[in-house]
Amino acid sequence: MTFDVIKAIILGIVEGLTEFIPVSSTGHLLLADHFFGFSDEAFGKAFVVLIQLGAILALLSIYAARLWQLFIGMFGDPAARRFIVGVLIAFLPAAVIGALAYGIIKNVLFNVWIVCSMFVVGGFVLLWIDRLDLKPRYHDARKFSLPMYLGIGVIQCLSMVPGVSRAGATIVGAMLFGADKRAATEFSFWLAMPTMVGAFAYEAYKSRAELAGGDMLIVAVGFAVSFICGWFVVKTLLDYVSHHGFALFAWWRIAVGAAGLAALALGM
Q: Could you please report the per-residue DSSP string of 54-102?
A: HHHHHHHHHTHHHHHHHHHHTTT-HHHHHHHHHHHHHHHHHHHHHHHSH
Integer Cα distance of 139 and 242 in angstroms: 11
Buried b (16+ CB within 10 A) or exposed e, 86-113: bbebbbebbbeebeeeeeeeeeebbebe
Amino acid at the residue 230: G
pLDDT in tens, the chain (268 residues): 565 788 888 889 999 999 999 999 889 988 988 887 765 554 555 667 678 888 999 999 999 999 999 989 888 889 999 999 999 999 999 889 888 887 788 788 888 999 999 999 999 999 999 999 889 999 999 999 999 999 999 999 999 999 999 999 999 999 999 999 999 999 999 999 988 888 777 776 766 666 555 567 777 888 899 999 999 999 999 999 988 999 999 999 999 999 999 999 998 7
The CA distances from residue 46 to 33, 60, 119, 166, 209, in Å, are 15, 21, 26, 21, 9
